[in-house]
Amino acid sequence: MIIQTKGDVVKLTGSLVENQWPALQSAVSLLLEEHPGGVIIDGSGLTDVSDAGVRTFLDASHFIQAHSARVIVSGLSEAILEAVKNVPGVRSQLVTAATVEQARASLEYGGAVIVPDARTRPVVLVPLIGAWQRAIDYAAAEASARRADAHLLYVLKVPRNLPLGAPMPAEEHEAQRALDEAEKAMKRKGVTVRRRTTRARDLVEGAGKFAAETKADLLVVCYYKEDLMQEGSRYADVGALCHEAHCDIVVCCVNK
């Protein structure tokens, strides 16, 4: 088997007849230093894989779990993918995509590693949950008053039966659409905007953790009064935000 690297991609070509993870790990680790946003292992050039070769992906999944690494394997044929997923311990951690392009799009919306930005201006964080279109109005006013930047956060909710970094093209497309809409609305109010994404099992918990990890100064959410009154879980959502986020929180209740 031949291992080649280009940009953020490790390309595998030929027959995978033995465990090649020791050699592959060196390439992946080096690329992760250069591309902290994530690395793609492109297996579209693999022609076949033996039982011993499949252990390459088992060791890869262990590495990904141990290092919380953002690594996606793309392009595996149906036969190879089936062999890989039949190995216990691989399916839960190894994230796969059909193509390099799909893998790269998924990394863009990965949100698995959060590094706080060096900044001099406060941040008003607006998760796109609840009645977020109405939250933008309040957030824009607060951002202007505080001379702050507005960060628009889309939380991709990942089912518990999938790895957290699993590609979800339909959901990622919806994230792009919602962020486009929110960004346009915020910019019309003259506020500096940054788009952010994260992945979580629960929308509210993901938003709260993101606020804490990025050290936002203010988090703004909005719910319709009718929803709060009819859905008791909404009160639990507010409690979860207060528990997870360490910043100031504004919860707006508005009529539909």
In a domain, 116, yes or no: no
Structural domain span for residue 15: 2-108
Q: How many CB atoms neighbour CB 229 within 10 A?
A: 11
3-class state of residue 49 by DSSP = strand
Per DSSP, what are the bridge partners of residue 95? 72
* pLDDT for 73: 92
- Displacement of CA 214 from its chain's centroid (Å): 14
Q: What is the pLDDT of residue 74?
A: 92
Q: Indicate if 68 and 136 belong to the same structural domain.
A: no
The whole model's pTM is what? Answer: 0.61
Of 108, 143, 176, the position where a domain reaches its end is 108
pLDDT of amino acid 153: 94
Residue with tokens 């905007």: 193
Give the pLDDT of the chain (256 residues) as one tens digit per residue: 899 999 999 999 999 999 999 989 989 998 988 887 789 999 999 999 998 999 899 888 888 877 777 889 999 998 898 888 787 766 556 788 889 988 888 787 654 444 444 556 899 999 999 899 999 999 999 999 999 999 999 999 988 887 777 778 888 889 989 999 999 999 998 888 998 888 888 998 889 988 988 889 999 999 888 877 776 556 677 778 888 888 999 988 888 8
Residues 130 and 102 in one domain: no
For residues 140 and 104, membership in a common domain is answered with no
Q: Which of 50, 74, 108 is the last residue of a domain?
A: 108
Task: Name residue 249's beta-bridge partners.
Answer: 219
CB–CB of 246/212 below 8 Å?
A: yes
Tell me, yes or no, whether 117 lies in a domain: no
Structural domain ending residue among the three candidates 49, 77, 108 = 108
Q: Residue 201 and residue 163: Cα distance in Å, rounded?
A: 10
pLDDT recorded at residue 214: 84
Distance CA 218, CA 15 (A): 53
Q: Is 142 found in the same domain as 247?
A: yes
Residue 203 is assigned to a structural domain of this protein = yes
Residues 77 and 132 in one domain: no
- For residue 150, the domain's CATH number is 3.40.50.620
Domain count, the chain: 2
Residue 115 belongs to some domain of the structure = no
Asked whether residue 114 is assigned to any structural domain, the reply reads no
Which strands form 149-157's sheet, in the order they lie side by side?
193-200, 149-157, 123-127, 218-224, 248-254
What's residue 133's pLDDT?
Answer: 93
3-state secondary structure of 32: helix
Q: Give all strands of the β-sheet with 9-16 in edge-to-edge order.
A: 2-6, 9-16, 39-49, 71-74, 95-97
Statement to judge: residues 139 and 250 lie in one domain: yes
Are residue 71 and residue 191 in the same domain, yes or no? no
pLDDT value, residue 112? 40
- Are 103 and 155 part of one and the same domain? no
- Look up the CATH number of the domain holding residue 25: 3.30.750.24
pLDDT at position 40: 94
Report if residue 113 sits inside a domain: no
Residue 162, in any domain of the structure: yes
**Is residue 59 domain-shared with residue 161, that is, in the same domain?**
no
Q: Which residues contact 2 (CB under 8 A, 6 or more apart)?
A: 11, 12, 13, 14, 45
Q: Residue 37 in contact with residue 69, Cβ under 8 Å?
A: no
Judgement on whether residues 85 and 140 belong to the same structural domain of the protein: no
Extended strands (E) in 50-122: 71-74, 95-97
Clarify whether residues 142 and 248 are in a common domain. yes
Whether residue 138 is found in the same domain as residue 224: yes
Instruction: Return the pLDDT at 116.
Output: 45
